[in-house]
Chains A and B, each alone.
Chain A
């Protein structure tokens, strides 16, 4: 789960990391009022969870009330890379001499956290990592102890941060690590951490991603999630409790288990079709989940045909079949043709139950995918 910039900054500020003066605004008038009370120049920043907001016109620097009004009018309500902007952060513009990067993430290869510092802040850090890995100082942390203060200093000095601000940067990194640990972060990042002419450090941007599996013990953060607006279909999937990713193609895909669903997507592509989505109904799905899954895929107007592929372990073929029948019998006319393949636990019972007036049944994964690709081609709008 990703926090918005304003949410992450609030969390950072509460922990004692210096952040610029800022106010959240939902209307143009609120934005202008905020700008007036903060004092110019201010930055007006779209609060959507996509990278490259500045280049896409989602961040503007303004010097007076007229400019603030114009910028807020432009940004509020705009469509930014598919996301509707309904909030802006109005923020004191920081005069800086230098931009640093500090971050904490889980190094999955090592199985332990890693703290990072670079003097090349302000740009895409993944590009820096790819072009010049030595420009980022990395310090792995033993999760049994947490980060020792010396490790923060070591990372800061190894990165070549100016002595005048080294202590302050180390202190920001220590706080960031402690926050990351306490809040079950997956990534915590300040890019850029600005250094001002009088050697103050200030977090000009803030990224905080939380481990979705840990939200049960982070109730305040779980509440923030509700404030984050998402793509309609993805919000729907969230309500149903599905793992769902929307793609660009026209073959709808439903299956059980992440690896098998991905493989089904790959096979659609292999046989010349284009997958419309990834939808994993999970293990042990009963009839209702099956109905919901079909509803999800039919709601996507790009879908021209559907392939339903289940390999039962804990999931039972007869229950899936019953769910498919119930879902499709409710329609006067079935919106898209559906190809079903059932294997594993109770697959034979399931095949017998399936109403073959409503669906096409195939025995193997390969055949089912090829049939769905054919249907999608024939029925493409």
Chain B
């Protein structure tokens, strides 16, 4: 078992004819992902890596039975691409694009509330169910199949933590990179809920970072609703207030909200151990399993 992505996931890639879209379509196919279509306006009838391209997501979904979309569309057009996928509709949208204006995402988020679709991202590495399929840009070779669910706001930090897990023989059910933007679709709680309902996920690793209060909300959720044990990691302990640390969402506000310490405290109060280093995260998971 896994969450969000399994053998039945049939993917349409939006922006498949662009550099990134093409490269990662090839990588996804190589990993075994069922990429069934591409969608690029005006490029219908072409093929990329043997995958048929359609002018619209709607057409791709109907002709090829696609039920998931991966968005590689440039930032200025990415919100429109998300609306197109939500309206198709597909069950899962993974938005890789970095740099989408926040007000655009606010409108997408509003639309999302009216649908049953899961949106992951934007500005995220994607979702992978090791050995089955990956949707996005995650390097498949560092993952291995197992019983640990992983949810993270950051791409390369996910790789670091997964590397530490895999090295100890701690494989993963599914890893979800939810993205570092201020407004995202699937948040920690949504992902934790999915893992809690998955009988094969025996432990969850949650990698958060400074900014916002999503980790605090997630800690409350864990305390009240989860039987599956969770291990935490929080990046940005040394971040000064008022400075944006790369991610648009990673900023400690002047009034002191969004600090690493408040997130670590919240998680520990919910009975969730927090690793000081990625290595320690693997230690905690090993102890639990």
Contacts and interface: CB of A to CB of B under 8 A. Distances in A.
Partners in one complex: yes
B71 to A, nearest CB: 15
Contacts of B157: 257, 259-260, 262-263
Interface string A164-185: 0000000000000000010010
Given A258-B245, A262-B236, A365 B278 contact: yes
A236 B69 CA distance: 38
A18 B157 CA distance: 48
A261 interface: yes
Contacts of A23: none
A344 interface: yes
15 contacts: A106-B102, A111-B109, A126-B255, A213-B101, A259-B152, A259-B156, A259-B180, A259-B209, A259-B250, A260-B156, A262-B235, A263-B233, A263-B278, A313-B159, A344-B156
Interface stretch (B28-36, B50-58, B137-145, B221-229): B137-145
Interface in B223-266: 233, 235-240, 243-250, 253-255, 260
A126 B210 CA distance: 18
Q: Which 10 A-B pairs have the closest CB atoms?
A: A259-B154, A258-B246, A257-B156, A259-B157, A126-B255, A214-B101, A260-B156, A111-B109, A262-B235, A243-B246
Interface of B: 75-76, 99-107, 109-111, 125, 137-139, 142, 152-160, 163, 180, 182-183, 207, 209-210, 212-214, 217, 233, 235-240, 243-250, 253-255, 260, 276-279
Contacts of A366: 277, 279
A143 B106 contact: yes
Contacts of A257: 154-157, 246
Interface stretch (A38-46, A147-155, A275-283): A275-283
A314 interface: yes
A137 B282 CA distance: 45
A343 interface: yes
Interface stretch (A220-228, A266-274, A325-333): A266-274
A314 B248 CA distance: 20
Contact count band on A = 35 or more
Given A108-B182, A216-B76, A113 B106 contact: yes
A258 B239 contact: no
B183 to A, nearest CB: 5
A278 to B, nearest CB: 6
A108 B253 CA distance: 13
Contacts of B248: 212-213
Contact of B237 (A112, A266, A278): A266
A144 interface: yes
Determine which residue in B240, B243, B246 has the highest number of CB atoms from chain A within 10 A of its CB, and name it: B246
